[in-house]
Amino acid sequence: MQTAAVSRGPTTQKEQYEFRQLLKEMTELSHVTPSSKRIVRQTTHEFMDRKITSWKCTEYLYKKTPCPLPTQARGLFSSSSDEGDGEAMIVARGYDKFFNIGEVSKTQWQWIRDNTQGPYELTVKENGCLILAAGLDKDTLLVTSKHAIHVPHAQVGSSWIDKHLAS
């Protein structure tokens, strides 16, 4: 019986290398200082017989110029490869942190005038929660809330997805 190699999804070898480098940098930053002052915290969660690691960065660092973080993702989750090679891979990634007008240097009107070109699309930044949904394989859906898996927001997100998939 032949078995096919498990696909890591539609990523190039270069992207896979960049993912590994990103996770390596995040791991290094999570060990840099005493836990009370870590700039990156990692938490490993049990999820359907898998270990999923969530990565949380110290909030104020997103505003520093240049940002010292290897990513500005809001919500980043990784897991070991299904291939058993010990390689970590990113399984869910949120959007980059974004800011209101005037909150950081790149949202100052002068910077926007000097460095961007229309047309523009305006949106309103609302309070809410970030729900991420990621297919781990053909039968497993991971639903998270920004940095955690087993929390009320993630459970509500999972229920919402179940409801809409059933209709």
Does 97 participate in catalysis according to the annotation?
no
Catalytic residue among 63, 64, 106, 125, which?
Answer: 125
DSSP character at residue 73: B
Instruction: Name, in order, each residue with C-beta under 8 angstroms of 75's C-beta and a sequence gap of 6 or more.
Output: 54, 92, 93, 94, 130, 132, 144, 146, 147
Which residue has tokens 């960065």?
57
CA distance 139 to 137: 6
Catalytic residues: 125
